[in-house]
Structure 1
Amino acid sequence: MPGAACLALKSTHREPIMIERSLSVLIVEDNLALAANMFDYLEACGHTLDAAPDGKSAMRLISENHYDVIVLDWMMPRMDGISLLRHLRTELRNPVPVMLLTAKDQLDDKLLGFESGADDYIVKPLALPELEIRLRVLAARSHKRSDVRQVLEVADLCFDLGTQTIMRGGVQLPFSPIRRTLLEVLMRNSPHVVTRAQLELLIWGDSVPDGDLLRSHMHLLRRTIDGERIAEQKLLHTVPGIGFRLCMCP
């Protein structure tokens, strides 16, 4: 249970610096006692939470859910925090705000964290009220920028990230969580190729199930967005031996 009351910081500016709403938070921390303390405190502050003990488990949760902010430990088994962070930023182009959590307090360590894509950096041992406030600040900054990146568009295909609504030619399309995640990655990387290995890592981590499930998902994804359109209007393209790309390709 938390040992202190939750703090609500208000600004004297015309707009509050923080958004007073429940946040969806993912805690990625292999120290179970510390993870439980953060989980209990943030939950008592009204936030909704998931937790993962390592980077691979976190990847699966990120592929299935939307988070307002991620608390990410640096030193972990099965993909450390820096590796996960770089994968999010460079491979998946995922802009979710990330608070890097670590015992490393040297300037070079902090610089490496920020260069890898962290939005903030907090050193252990941490004060839970400070953590909660800083998470709100990160989410508020992201919220203010959301109008810039809220909608992904490729040709006449539109993906509203805020409402999770996907439309093509003005018609709303049905999507499962996995195929919605696949589409988001392909749209963020359009017109470039995303490899099969990258997509499998995103969805299943290092526990890829037997059988070519990715092929099945991509078949259904193609049927949903392209349907019976003529070849020149199709958006999802297979690059043999490599992967897939989403574009109005000649």
Structure 2
Amino acid sequence: MKVLIIEDDPAIAANLFDYLGANGYEVDLASNGRAGLAMALADFWDAILLDLTLPRMDGLTLCRKLREEAHRDTPVMMLTARDALDDKLAGFVHGADDYLVKPFSLREVSARLGALIKRYRGGVATQELRSGGVRLDLTTLTVQRGGRIVKLQPKGLQLLRVLMQSPGRVFRRAELETEVWGDELPDSDTLRAHIYTLRKALTRQGEAELIETVHGLGYRLIARDTDAT
């Protein structure tokens, strides 16, 4: 899971970076608002940890631009020393999903972050994922494309589930391997073989390819319709 930390306090940023990295997150840092917004828009993130008091662009402005101008719905958790109710309400008005007051527990940050990402990915109440004409029923683990049943092996189902949770986002190879195989990482050709098998199962003659290889990075699911959920 990819998390962007936008924080100008070096000690706080380092603590968050080290703790989240040790707990399986792929983390990157920005130390000012303008750089943070640029990084937020340059990639797809599972969540953003955002300080309010930042140089070059404050956190409220950054969050508003992310929502209203860039139309990104990436989960945002604001981290700030401002504990007044009006400050918290302003954070939510500008697009925050959660608000945590400093000083905070790193364990609580991780727990809240995991809950945000789970809801964003549809892991709480969503029973079906849809994208590119493909439907994945999360209850029965059945897959359909264009009304036909697509039969997949367990690893193929797991790969498809991860890709469908964030259509259009590039998943790095290492991230997909961790999501599907956990700590027992496969050899270098295993992921490629499973992606090939998944592509073949999803695509019949005349149908558009749904999984794109982004050379040097990884793979992404191409969202070709407007009803991705």
Give your verdict on TM over 0.5: yes
Unaligned ranges ≥5, structure 1: 1-22, 154-159, 178-183, 189-250
- Within 2, Cα distance between the matches of 1:152 and 1:123? 40
Aligned letter for 1:122? L
- Name the structure 1 match of 2:173: none
Alignment correspondent of 1:127: 105
Partner SS, residue 77 of structure 1: coil
Match of 2:39 in 1: 61
> Could you say if the C-alpha distance between residues 109 and 25 of structure 1 is closer, same or farther in structure 2, counting changes exceeding 3 Å?
same
Q: Which amino acid aligns with 2:168?
A: Q
Q: Which residue of 2 aligns with 1:35?
A: 13
Q: Partner residue of 2:70?
A: 92
- Which amino acid letter does the alignment assign opposite residue 6 of structure 2? V
Question: RMSD between aligned alpha carbons?
Answer: 3.3
- Match for 2:122 among 118, 128, 144? 144
**Structure-1 separation of matches of 2:167 and 2:91:** 31
2:111 aligned partner, one-letter code: I
Aligned pair in 2 of structure 1 residues 150, 81: CA closer, same or farther (>3 Å)? farther
1:66 Cα deviation (Å)?
1.3
8 Å Cα contact 2:131/2:167 also seen in 1? no
Which moves more between the two structures, 138-147 or 54-63?
138-147
| Structure 1 residue matching 2:122: 3-state secondary structure | helix
For the 8 Å contact 2:122–2:165, the answer to whether it is kept is: no
What secondary structure is seen at the aligned counterpart in 1 of 2:39? Answer: helix
Select which of 104, 121, 138 maps to 2:82. Answer: 104
Maintained 8 Å contact 1:55/1:76: yes
What is the TM-score normalised by the length of structure 1?
0.53
1:49-94 Cα deviation digits (max 9, x unpaired): 0000011111221222211110000000111110010001111110
CA apart distance, 1:161: 7.6
Deviations 1:174-198 (A, max 9, x none): 8989xxxxxx9xx99xxxxxxxxxx
Whole-angstrom distance in 2 between the partners of 1:29 and 1:152? 36
Contact 2:77 2:96 in 1 (8 A): yes
Overall identity of the aligned pairs, in %? 42
| Bigger RCO of structures 1 and 2 (CA < 8 A, at least 6 apart) | 1
Counterpart CA distance in 1 for 2:130 and 2:62 is 23
